Amino acid sequence: MSTDAHARPEGPSNAGALAVPAPSHAERTRTLLASVATGTLCTLTREPAGYPYGSLTTFALVDGDPIFLISELAEHTRNLHADGRASLLVAESRPGDPLANGRVTLLGHCTPVAEAREAVRAAYLGRHPGAAGYADFKDFAFWRLSVSGVRYIGGYGRMSWVDVDAYRDAAPDPIAPDAAAILEHMNADHADALPVYCRAFAGVATVSGALMTSVDRLGFEMSVSTPEGTRTVRVPFPAPIASKNDARTALVALLREGRTKLAGG
Amino acid sequence: MSTDAHARPEGPSNAGALAVPAPSHAERTRTLLASVATGTLCTLTREPAGYPYGSLTTFALVDGDPIFLISELAEHTRNLHADGRASLLVAESRPGDPLANGRVTLLGHCTPVAEAREAVRAAYLGRHPGAAGYADFKDFAFWRLSVSGVRYIGGYGRMSWVDVDAYRDAAPDPIAPDAAAILEHMNADHADALPVYCRAFAGVATVSGALMTSVDRLGFEMSVSTPEGTRTVRVPFPAPIASKNDARTALVALLREGRTKLAGG
């Protein structure tokens, strides 16, 4: 599960430019897992034995390990009692082409939670308050997937096996909860700023249209129409940002700087 | 993979009444698969060997078997070359509690499509027109999951292993594409009809509120507030319906019949 031919260098880079700082796949994985709380649990069937069996499940993350609250009567639980090997697929559910969205597969062994049950219970119910009604039923138990492999796919051509230690150390992007609002605001009210960013900071001379498509603590990306076709352009922030206000400040400063630069100042 | 303690009788029934006709789990499975075209493909890892590995995939259905168009470079394809055992989880993505939604797991062997490739290609591209751009790339191929096991879960307490022959013979509910519009119309414009249905056809004497929650070719279901709490009530159509117009005709006729019945006529 190390490298493979399908893997690509992390993050996009602008043609002809040095690589632009972008969140690592470890960080993107943690960001995705912070925004989705439902996934597919994959276990091994008992009879006939050894088929991979997918089932829908909700989860919470504790120290990077998914926690499940599952019934002893359910197929996946009975499968796990026989063989603890498992994985969890978690996918973004944005509209449009599903294969262009991000998803992650966490592989490892799944075991009943024996230690720190109260902390695990609190974390799970914090994410799934509705489960309080059955969390203490006798036939329900918390299980933990101890992650030993992480496969990240950010869309077409943006994928890798992520180092597990890097995954455990990474944190979700602090801008992610506000990203959709920032994109909407920029595209609706500041469309005129986008060509300035492209020309001043990404060396794209002729821009016939641009749409901001993502923003994170290190920068933002645009889908840009040029005479050579549609390109993805990434512009870094001068320094990492940590809030929606930081984003506003950075985007205004970059616009001012870009205009000055383009005016030859 | 036959019966298990988690299984329940098919379909809801009204308390005290005989079972009300409802779509079988085989039919519900085909209906679900007709409405969703993305799922989780579960394969077996190569190294370390034998872990169940979940990945996002799009599919089309041909004679009940899922068809995938996958790259030779992708993890799941390399897994399948080593071991064809696989499953596909497909889940509804309605808002609200994800565990209350329907999902199905199809188990079987996955092999490259060798026969009738043109028909398979047409079926796949009919469902995923965007894939025409890479369907004929040298490193992409069609694969077929030959279904040998079907697990259906319709929500809490509504689940079973579905007979594979029954699954192959079943057809999607013809009303499903119009169901959302019918529910919206009935709840918005004919809320006064719902208590009549409950009292006349389900023996629910006192109704303080009702919401139509599903409709299919054999009948419809409501979530009903009663002095004893919230109940699910199913009312059958006099005969199976096949269109939105049929639904309108049947619902109007049932309302007239119900009012007459309640008036002691």
For residue B221, give how far its alpha carbon lies from the nearest alpha carbon of chain A (Å).
Answer: 23
Between A186 and B13, whose confidence is greater?
A186
Closest of B173, B170, B115, B166 to residue B144, by C-alpha: B115
Q: Which ipTM score applies to this complex? A: 0.89
Mapped onto helix, strand or coil, the DSSP state of residue A98 is helix
Q: Is B136 on the interface with A (CB under 8 A)?
A: no
Confidence of residue A12 (pLDDT cuts 50, 70, 90): very low
Q: What pLDDT is attached to residue A265?
A: 62
pLDDT of B8 higher than 70:
no
Which chain A residues touch B58 with a CB distance below 8 Å?
98-99
Q: Is B52 on the interface with A (CB under 8 A)?
A: yes
Distance of CA B165 to the CA centre of its chain: 17
Helix H or strand E segment including A78: helix A75-82
- Nearest residue of A to residue B154 by CA position? A56
Q: What pLDDT is attached to residue A166?
A: 98
Closest of B183, B157, B163, B181 to residue B30, by C-alpha: B163
For residue A193, give how far its alpha carbon lies from the nearest alpha carbon of chain B (Å).
Answer: 32
For residue A26, give how far its alpha carbon lies from the nearest alpha carbon of chain B (Å).
Answer: 18
Q: What pLDDT is attached to residue A17?
A: 46
Q: Is A7 on the interface with B (CB under 8 A)?
A: no
pLDDT of B17 higher than 60:
no
- Nearest residue of B to residue A155 by CA position? B56
Average pLDDT, chain B: 92
| pLDDT tens-digit map of A54-65 | 999 999 999 999
Confidence of residue A115 (pLDDT cuts 50, 70, 90): confident
Average pLDDT, chain A: 92
Which chain A residues touch B73 with a CB distance below 8 Å?
4-6
Strand-strand pairing, A219-226 and A229-236: antiparallel
Average pLDDT estimate for A30-56: 97
Q: Is A103 on the interface with B (CB under 8 A)?
A: yes
Which chain B residues touch A71 with a CB distance below 8 Å?
6
Which chain A residues touch B86 with a CB distance below 8 Å?
51-52
Residue type, A95: P
Strands in A229-236's sheet, in edge-to-edge order, are A209-216, A219-226, A229-236
Of residues A1, A44, A71, nearest to B52 (C-beta): A44
Residue B120 sits at φ, ψ, to 5 deg, of: -65, -45
What distances in angstroms separate CA B212 from CA B28, B164, B220, one per listed residue? 18, 31, 7
Between B156 and B248, whose confidence is greater?
B248
Q: Is A91 on the interface with B (CB under 8 A)?
A: yes
Peptide bond into A48 cis (omega under 30): yes
- Nearest residue of A to residue B5 by CA position? A73
| pLDDT tens-digit map of B160-204 | 999 999 999 999 999 999 999 999 999 999 999 999 999 999 999
- Contact (CB<8Å) B6/A38: no
Plot region of A62 (φ>0 → left; ψ -120 to 50 → alpha; else → beta): beta
| pLDDT tens-digit map of B108-144 | 999 999 988 999 999 999 999 999 999 999 999 999 9
Confidence of residue A8 (pLDDT cuts 50, 70, 90): very low
For residue B91, give how far its alpha carbon lies from the nearest alpha carbon of chain A (Å).
Answer: 7
Please state, in angstroms and rounded to a whole number, the distance separating the CA atoms of residues A74 and B157: 11
